[in-house]
Homo-oligomer: A and B are copies of this chain.
Amino acid sequence: MKIESVDFFYLAMPEVTLEADGSQDALLVRVLAGGHVGYGECEAAPLPSIAAFVCPHSHGACQPVSASVLGRELNDARDIAAIAADVAYNSMDVLQAAHTFSGIEMALWDILGKARGEPVWKLLGYPASYAKTPYASLLFGDDAQLTLARAREAMARGFRAVKFGWGPIGRAGAQQDAEHFVAAREAMGPDGILLVDVGQIFVDDLERAATRLPALEAARATWLEEPFHSSALEEYGALARRCNTVRLAGGEGAHNFSMARHLIDYGGIGYVQIDCGRIGGIGPAKQVADHALAKGVTYVNHTFTSHLALSASLQPFAGLREHTICEYPAAPKALAVELTANHIQRDAQGSVYAPDAPGLGITIDAAAVRRYQVDTELRVAGRTLYRSPQFD
């Protein structure tokens, strides 16, 4: 098969706020090859990601992502890896390229799976796909009472695990933060899995992060996620050594395999969280899963958008029976729900599985794409390099 076309669809809610909710817009990618249609989704910042696909080249190591993708052969997994290597090399100086390619790479796997009639996790070498325990991703409330209410609501909806993130944590003192952790544990009962995400709030301040550890351990949090900037490996490592029961989690910002590997090898994290929409797609995410397995670290997906992204993010660890925790967007915006015609539903046990269907197993809802599409145009030197394509 030959890659015939790559189209980007910039979608957004009518209003996009500044809350820490990544489901408010989306960059859908559609790839055509050999009569098959594949879909993927880039995480975050649609406009720079589109620009990185169409921009004029600056020199040989600063080419648009399109230069390494269009017209390429796609017949097996090695072709995807070869294209990825060319993107890394030819777009070396286009920082945004990894995010742009992530959605394309997912679509290439989707096509390969559809052409073979197999789910992507089988193409990755997994003989079986195992149940995952989805956690609800929620934002901390403005006060502890609101956090308590949100945790109760999630438990009532049948979640056995909840991750609270962002909001006021780290902005006031350790005592105020502790009240939120206590409230969440209270609502979830003794058996609920409590995960805490502080969204890099401590930047590289080891001591401020460390003051939160006693309350997190008292509330029996399973992990503390992203205490620092994703590159602060020394601080990750130092904080990890000060943890007793809680473990560190991180990796969502990784835009290549090495970055995730360094968080494991140097940063001492216990859970590595990979967003296939940022790391370059499913291939490098599977590399991380392999490395995590070898190092006794648990792989977790990072997903805050649609079920297309969720399916892609489940594939790299679908076959790892013991790696059960799974991020599941619990309260996404309408766009992220309506974008796909089918969804990865929780079963009677509250578990989810990577779809047992060809490719990523997700169907796009054409009407939703048209409804949320944002008209976009990029012009350079009198030429239109990009104009929002029609979804048909």
Contact = CB atoms under 8 A, between A and B. Distances in A.
A335 to B, nearest CB: 12
A357 interface: no
Contact of A59 (B22, B88, B234, B265): B22
A257 to B, nearest CB: 8
B93 A44 contact: yes
A128 to B, nearest CB: 31
Given A85-B203, A95-B45, A377-B377, A59 B20 contact: yes
Given A48-B96, A88-B229, A200-B92, A57 B18 contact: yes
A52 interface: yes
Q: Which interface class (under 10, 10 to 19, 20 to 34, 35 or more) fits A?
A: 35 or more
- If over half of A's interface residues share one DSSP class (helix, strand or loop), that class is named, otherwise mixed; here it is loop
B45 A94 contact: yes
Contact of A56 (B47, B60, B166, B229): B47
B51 A47 contact: yes
Contacts of A55: 45-48
Given A45-B52, A95-B98, 17 more contacts: A16-B57, A17-B60, A18-B57, A20-B59, A20-B60, A24-B59, A25-B56, A44-B58, A47-B378, A60-B166, A89-B200, A92-B253, A96-B96, A231-B258, A262-B266, A375-B380, A376-B379
9 contacts: A46-B55, A61-B199, A92-B200, A95-B99, A229-B258, A374-B380, A375-B379, A377-B379, A378-B378
